Chains A and B, each alone.
Chain A
Amino acid sequence: MKKLNPFYLVVFMFLFSCGKEIKKEKQQNPTANIESNVAPVVKKETPLIATYDYNSLAPLLNKKGDKTYIVNFWATWCKPCVDELPAFEKINENFKDKNVEVLLVSLDFPNQVESQLLPFIKERNIKSEVVLFDDPNQNVWINKIDSTWTGALPATIIYTKDKRAFYEQSFDYDLLLKELQTFIK
């Protein structure tokens, strides 16, 4: 056993050095990040608000950039969602220049976009990006977004390219900040 050790050491060193080099390369190539932020081709742009089905939304839930991404599923009709929105807005305000991206995925009903969602965004002066998610096939996409999600709103995903957590719960600012800090290196 002992005789093999130097060999393992060499293998480890080789792997380790490789990893380092890849990391370096990524840091030196900022365009890699920009590319991953490009909107998907399938995205449907309406004059009112960007609307997604599950297939077009999925890339926004799986970005590969170097940021920490916070995705909040909400709706104007969901009281606890509306109550916790200021926490997400404050995180967006305080961390948008610190490599954190907030996306608010609205599950408002398409026929209430003009009467409810848009006035809400305007009145509350929502600064985070808001998109509309309209896909009736809930029994399929809820599990795809997270197998532990029972379907209750609000729900939140926090992820980086190598770490991910799903929360079927409400947040206040302190709790959201605490969770976010476990993702920020």
Chain B
Amino acid sequence: MRVLKTVLVLAVFALATAFTINTTKKGYEVGDVVEDFSLKNIDGKNVSLKDFKKAKGVILVFTCNHCPYSKMYEERIIALDKKYKDLGYPVVAINPNDPIASPGDDFESMKKRAKEKGFTFPYLFDKGQTVYPKFGATRTPHVFILNKIKKKDMVVSYIGAIDNNARDASAVSEEYVADAIDTLLAGKKLTTTKTKAIGCSIKVQ
């Protein structure tokens, strides 16, 4: 009887612990359907996921102006957009930083940076920082590949880095995002759905 009691207590404890871990989960996981958002683009017009009617998905990149890792990837993000926009996966960039906490990441500076670098994609401002927490983005750059299913729902298919060498594009041996999109275009299941990289923390006040 005593043993049974112990087992029961342990089981309850294990369940409670498991529940706690589940409830503290932060942001979308691979497989989750994304809630649409509406954020202001550098051209002054709001952009939502539902605007991409013909797209097969979206390469969503949380990035910013000031972070050196974001800067190292600017050219590669432009290249991804140029290559995959016509194939159905356009890039949408979002600056998640609070402009007071992160000087240089304000809306005017975003416009300037996008012009200087020749961004070919929307560069949205997460005003009030309401969108990035839903995704569980923690750093810049931080990529979420969204894949459209049933012609409407955007599902998270990949979370992570753009490739495996930030500092030296010529030394990249794994192009995580490009490989994932190629796999999705081929109608196959992704084998790598999560990767990690160093980046700048998202700045809050």
Do A and B form a real pair? yes
- Structural contact, B200 and A152, CB atoms closer than 8 A: yes
Tell me if B120 counts as interface (CB < 8 A to partner A): no
Contact with B along A76-97 (1 / 0, CB 8 A): 0111100000000000000000
- Structural contact, B201 and A153, CB atoms closer than 8 A: yes
A80 to chain B, nearest CB (A): 6
- Structural contact, B198 and A154, CB atoms closer than 8 A: no
Q: How large is the interface on B (under 10, 10 to 19, 20 to 34, 35 or more residues)?
A: 20 to 34
A137 to chain B: closest residue by CB: B164
- Structural contact, B164 and A139, CB atoms closer than 8 A: yes
Binds B, one of A45-53, A64-72, A143-151: A143-151
A57 to chain B, nearest CB (A): 14
- Structural contact, A151 and B68, CB atoms closer than 8 A: no
- Structural contact, A152 and B68, CB atoms closer than 8 A: no
How many A-B Cβ pairs are below 8 Å?
Answer: 62
- Structural contact, B197 and A139, CB atoms closer than 8 A: yes
**Bound complex: CA A80 to CA B201 (Å):** 8
Contact with A along B117-146 (1 / 0, CB 8 A): 000000000000000000000110010000
* CB-defined contacts of B195 to chain A, threshold 8 Å: 139
**Bound complex: CA A15 to CA B141 (Å):** 52
- Structural contact, B164 and A168, CB atoms closer than 8 A: no
- Structural contact, B201 and A138, CB atoms closer than 8 A: no
* CB-defined contacts of B138 to chain A, threshold 8 Å: 150-152, 168
Contact with A along B160-192 (1 / 0, CB 8 A): 110011111001001000000000000000000
B171 to chain A: closest residue by CB: A136
- Structural contact, A107 and B198, CB atoms closer than 8 A: yes
Across the interface, B196 reaches (CB within 8 A) one of A80, A107, A149, namely A149
Tell me if B203 counts as interface (CB < 8 A to partner A): yes
- Structural contact, A139 and B161, CB atoms closer than 8 A: yes
Tell me if B102 counts as interface (CB < 8 A to partner A): yes
A86 to chain B, nearest CB (A): 18
Tell me if B94 counts as interface (CB < 8 A to partner A): no
- Structural contact, A78 and B196, CB atoms closer than 8 A: no
Count of A interface residues, CB-CB < 8 Å: 20
**Bound complex: CA A42 to CA B171 (Å):** 24
- Structural contact, B202 and A136, CB atoms closer than 8 A: no
Given contacts A136-B171, A150-B196, contact A79 B102 (CB under 8 A): yes
- Structural contact, A80 and B203, CB atoms closer than 8 A: yes
Given contacts A152-B138, A152-B200, A153-B201, contact A136 B166 (CB under 8 A): yes
Across the interface, B161 reaches (CB within 8 A) one of A78, A79, A107, A138, namely A138
**Bound complex: CA A19 to CA B68 (Å):** 51
Tell me if A157 counts as interface (CB < 8 A to partner B): no
Tell me if B99 counts as interface (CB < 8 A to partner A): no
A133 to chain B, nearest CB (A): 10
Contact with B along A98-110 (1 / 0, CB 8 A): 0000000001010
B176 to chain A: closest residue by CB: A139
Tell me if A142 counts as interface (CB < 8 A to partner B): yes
**Bound complex: CA A143 to CA B160 (Å):** 13
* CB-defined contacts of A137 to chain B, threshold 8 Å: 164
Task: Specify which of B68, B161, B167, B200 lies most central, judged by the most chain A CB atoms within 10 Å of its CB.
Answer: B200
- Structural contact, A138 and B196, CB atoms closer than 8 A: yes
Known A-B contacts: A138-B196, A142-B197. Give 11 more (CB < 8 A).
Answer: A136-B165, A136-B168, A138-B161, A138-B166, A139-B160, A139-B174, A151-B198, A152-B138, A152-B200, A168-B138, A170-B201
Jot down 11 A-B pairs with beta carbons below 8 A, ordered by A. A79-B203, A138-B166, A138-B196, A138-B198, A142-B198, A150-B142, A151-B139, A151-B197, A151-B199, A153-B198, A168-B201
Report which A residues bind B (CB closer than 8 A).
77-80, 107, 109, 136-139, 142-143, 149-154, 168, 170
